[in-house]
Amino acid sequence: MDITDGAALQELFSKVGARAPRWARRRCAGAGRQELGREESAEEMLWAANVPPGHGGDTGLAGEAGDGFVPAAPANTELFVPRQHHFSAVMHFAGLKAVGESVQQPLEYYRVNLTGTIRLLEAMKAHGVRNLVFSSSATVYGDPKYLPLDEKHPAGGCTNPYGKSKYFIEEMIRDLCKAEKDWNAVLLRYFNPIGAHESGLIGEDPQGIPNNLMPYVAQVAVGRREFLSVFGNDYKTDDGTGVRDYIHVVDLAKGHIAALKKLKENCGCKIYNLGTGTGYSVLQMVQAMERASGREVRCDLRLQRQGHKPSVPWQPLALLPRLRALHRALALLSLQIRYTITARREGDVASCYADPTLAERELGWKAAFGLDKMCEDLWRWQLQNPSGFSKN
């Protein structure tokens, strides 16, 4: 959906009901329901999004039009099925989210993230929906003044336009809740979601070159990319690489269910960190993927982005149909996780990890999965989907 299009949002609220889907229970029978539990999955959802080109392969998991998933671009309004409707709450995930890209395209980030949120809030207001869970980010804290980061840490000193856009949206929502007392909002400051569903059916499939660390590492480990570029090894951390708080995506999903329950208390505007409270460096993450995948990690300072030949050349015998699978299996066994060190990426900070105490105390939520589990689940998904959803 182009969430900057106010007319399209009004159309969505007018014509599509929240009690449509069964995808979380039927399409993902072994996934969402088992993971969130019977009580939590009792909430019925409508997922409205523009599926990026090339993501058609995952529609069987996420649902189809009229089955909880709505391709809600203005051109697709004919897919909206009129029905008795009532939205009790909105979870707002829509927007652009790459730190490096935001530095290069600041106006696009402000246009989509800020204007889109204003249009969404206007549509919610017009249709009497006053409960919101917002997908914010730990980037709103900027360069930390102390660690771990709690919700009292000053926000707004952001180092990139992406983080600034999240902070501005938080301020919009806070002001709205202050001005209109019937609004309730939970602002969730994510740290770094990674992993996949343990079934291997649902995972992260970025288009083009991944902007996030772990999908990139997984693609190197599976042979889809040549090597990983580590942005900077001169930070004031134990090994010189950036430190982040990584959280399993399933733990993150459960945090949203807890936030929905909080809205029922007429909570006003609340802010919570969603993280584990432990920071890991880039190199520690690469080593964790080494354990999960069995791929040897090797640093090669000679690697260059341009003109580098593949490490696993395609042998003539692979052209023979009966030997192709064997060749691929042998090639996978010889793969390594190779990385090289490059310059720091503009907008990054040295260290960032959470104090999640408030979420545990007020939401009853705490991350359950550790680093090795995150990497094992990510690797399972990557092995089952070596070329992503669209080429399986």
- Give the Cα separation of 330 and 44 in Å (integer): 46
The parts of the chain modelled with pLDDT lower than 70 are 1-43, 49-85, 301-334, 390-392
Cβ-contact 251, 291 below 8 angstroms? no
What residues have CB less than 8 Å from 330, skipping those under 6 apart? none
103 φ/ψ angles, rounded to the nearest 5 degrees: -65, -35
Helix (H) or strand (E) holding 283: helix 282-293
Catalytic residue selected from 109, 141, 162, 167: 162
* Burial status of residue 243 (CB atoms within 10 A of its CB: 0-12, 13-18, 19 or more): buried
Tokens of 324: 């192709």
E strands, 316-381, are: 336-342, 351-352
Q: Give the model's pLDDT for residue 44.
A: 74
Identify the DSSP state of 65. Answer: B
Three-class SS state of 264: coil
- Give the Cα separation of 390 and 392 in Å (integer): 6
Cβ-contact 34, 98 below 8 angstroms? no
Q: Give the model's pLDDT for residue 114.
A: 96
- Give the Cα separation of 162 and 175 in Å (integer): 20
Q: How many helices (H) and strands (E) does the chain have?
A: 13, 14
User: What CATH class does 6-200+246-277+354-365+386-391 carry?
Assistant: alpha beta
- For the chain, the first-to-last Cα distance in angstroms comes to 26
Cβ-contact 337, 298 below 8 angstroms? yes
Placement of tokens 């584990």 in the chain? 276
**Buried b / exposed e across 226-242, counting CB within 10 Å, b at 16+?**
bbbebbbbebebeebbb
How long, in residues, is the chain?
392
- Give the Cα separation of 135 and 224 in Å (integer): 30
In 3-state terms the chain splits into helix, strand, coil percentages (rounded to 5) of 40, 15, 45
Closest C-alpha among 55, 380, 387 to residue 225:
387
Q: Given the DSSP bridges, would you call strands 243-244 and 280-281 parallel, antiparallel or unpaired?
A: antiparallel
- Give the Cα separation of 91 and 149 in Å (integer): 24
Q: Give the model's pLDDT for residue 47.
A: 72
Distances from the Cα of 224 to the Cα of 194, 227, 257, 326, 336, angstroms = 19, 9, 35, 17, 11
Model pTM score: 0.80
Closest C-alpha among 214, 217, 377, 196 to residue 297:
217
- Give the Cα separation of 285 and 298 in Å (integer): 14
Q: Give the model's pLDDT for residue 322.
A: 52
| Residue 162 bears catalytic tag | yes
- Give the Cα separation of 93 and 86 in Å (integer): 20
